[in-house]
Amino acid sequence: MSNQILEKEIPETKAISLSDDAFFSELRKKEYSRIDKNSEVYLDFTGGNIYPEFLIKKHHDFLLKNVFGNPHSINPTSKRSSEFIAETRQKVLDFFNAKDYICVFTQNATNALRIVGESYPFNENTEYILLSDNHNSVNGIREFCKNKGGAVTYVPVQYHDLQINEPLLKKLLTEHSKNKKVLFSFPAQSNVTGVKHDLKWVAYAKNLGCDVILDAAAFVPTSRLDLSEIQPDFIPISFYKIFGYPTGLGCLLIHKDSFQELKKPWFAGGTVSLVSVNAQDHFLTNTHERFEDGTLNYLDIPAIKNGLEFIESIGMDKISKRVHTIVELLAHKLSKLTHSNGKPLLKIFGPEDFSKRGGNMIMSFYDINGNTFQTELIEERASLKNISIRTGCFCNPGVDEINSCITTEELSGYFTSHSDGNYHDMVSFIGKMRGSVRVSVGFITNENDIEKFCDFVSEFKDKDASEFN
C-alpha cells in the first residue's frame, strides 16, 4: 500500500493463512478468555498489551508468600527485595542479549529518555539529529539540547512510504558529524505507522562517531532485538507494551562504553555513594543505581522476569510471524472495502512491503464523495461496538504533519500568533484536518476480531460525511 488512496488492488487469489492458529487460539482461551467473555475487540496493542492470567496469578502468589522491604539496606526483607531485583535485571539483559549494557529501571520509556536528555553533554558544539517520525518523548530531548546552545535537525521521512530518506540522512550524518558531536535518534518501529526503520543506521551513525538513541518501545513487543549485533548507546523500553503487566515500569539500557558520558545534573536518594552537607559535595554510584532515583518499585519489578519468561515460552520468532500475518490479512481485507461507486472506504499509510511493517498501521476513512470522516467520529462509533482502536496524532506530530500536508509556514504562523493552543484550535486556524485512525494487532488477535472490524468499517459504505456533522 502506498501513501495514496488504495489504488493498487491485492489479487483476489492471494491466500493469507494465520500461522500457528491452533496454538494461539488455545493460548487465547487459556490466558485471555476475558476478551471473548466481555465481547471485546481489542485493536490497540501498541497503546498497551494485554496481560495473561498466568502472569497475574504467579505474581499474586509471589507477593502473598513473601515479605519484602525497601532494598536500600541489608536486613532480611531488604536483602530479599534486592536479590529479586538483581535477578530481574539480569533477565532483562539476557532477554536482549545485552552483555555489554547496564540496565537502569525506570517508570517507563519516557522517563528513560529523560535521563538521556538531562544527562547528555549538550553544548554549543553538539547537534541532535532525529527523524520526523519520533515519539514526543524523543522529540522533547531537543529542549535540553537547545537550552544548552546545541543545534537540532529533523530528517523528514518520505511522503510516499513514510520510510527514511536514505540519501538525505547519509548526507546530514556525514557532514554534520565532521564538525560537531552528534546524538542521533530514531525508532526501530514507528509507534504510529508501524514502519520498521532499518537498524543498519545504528552502525552507520556510530562509525561516523555519533551517539545513538534507538527507541525500541514499539519494536520489542513483536520483534527480536539482539544487542550483541545491534549496539546503540541508549535504548528505552516499556515492559507493559510487551506483556501487559506491570504498568509503570520500563528501563534504559546504556552501553557500558557510554555510561560515563552521561553527566547526571543532580543526585537523589539511592543514587550516591557519599554525600556531605557541610562540604556540599557528593559522589554518585558507578552502577545502574546512579540513575535509579529514590526507592525502586521493588514489589512489581520481579513480575518483569515472569513476563519475559512467558514471552520466551511462546517464542519471539513465532510472535513476529503471527503478527506479520495478521496485519497483512487485515490490510488485505480492508483494501477490498469500497463504496458502491468503486471509491475506497479508507486508505492505509505506509509501505506496500509488509516485511517493513510491525503490528500497527494508520488509516483515514472516506465517504462516498471522497471526503474524510473526522477521526473522533470513527473512534466514538467503534466504541459503541466495543471495539478498541485509537485516533489522533499518537504523540508523534511529525508523521501527521507529513500525511496532512501541513507546511512549516502554516505551523509557524499558528505558533507565533498564539501563546497557548490545542488540537482543535490548530485545525480551525490552519483549515486542515489532522489525525488518523490507528489499528494495532497482537499475537492473540484472531480472524474474528478482523472480521468484526471490517464489518464496522463497512457501516460507512455509501455514507456522506456531512450526515454526521
pLDDT digits (tens, 9 = 90+) for 3-59: 433 334 433 435 566 768 899 999 999 999 999 999 999 999 999 999 999 999 999
Q: Which of 51-65, 79-93, 392-406, 449-463 has the lowest mean pLDDT?
A: 392-406
Cite the active site residues. Answer: 395
In the chain, where the domains are located: 21-51+315-393+435-462, 66-312
The CATH number of 66-312 is: 3.40.640.10
Q: How many CB atoms lie within 10 A of CB 446?
A: 16
Residue 424 scores a pLDDT above 50: yes
CA–chain centroid gap for 98, Å, is: 20
pLDDT in tens, 149-168: 999 999 999 988 999 999 99
Taking the model in full, what pTM does it have? 0.92
Which residues lie below 8 Å from residue 393, measured CB to CB, with a gap of 6+? 192, 399, 400, 423, 434, 435, 436
* Measured torsion, CA atoms of residues 136, 142, 144, 145, in degrees rounded to the nearest 10: 160
- The fold of the 21-51+315-393+435-462 domain, in CATH, is Aspartate Aminotransferase, domain 1 (3.90.1150)
Measured CA to CA, the distance from residue 109 to residue 239 in angstroms comes to 9
For residue 390, give the H/E element and its range.
strand 390-392
Q: Please give the pLDDT value at position 9.
A: 40
In the predicted model, what is the mean pLDDT of residues 213-219?
Answer: 97
Q: Please give the pLDDT value at position 160.
A: 87
Measured CA to CA, the distance from residue 240 to residue 49 in angstroms comes to 6
pLDDT in tens, 344-357: 999 999 888 888 89
Do domains 21-51+315-393+435-462 and 66-312 share one topology? The answer is no
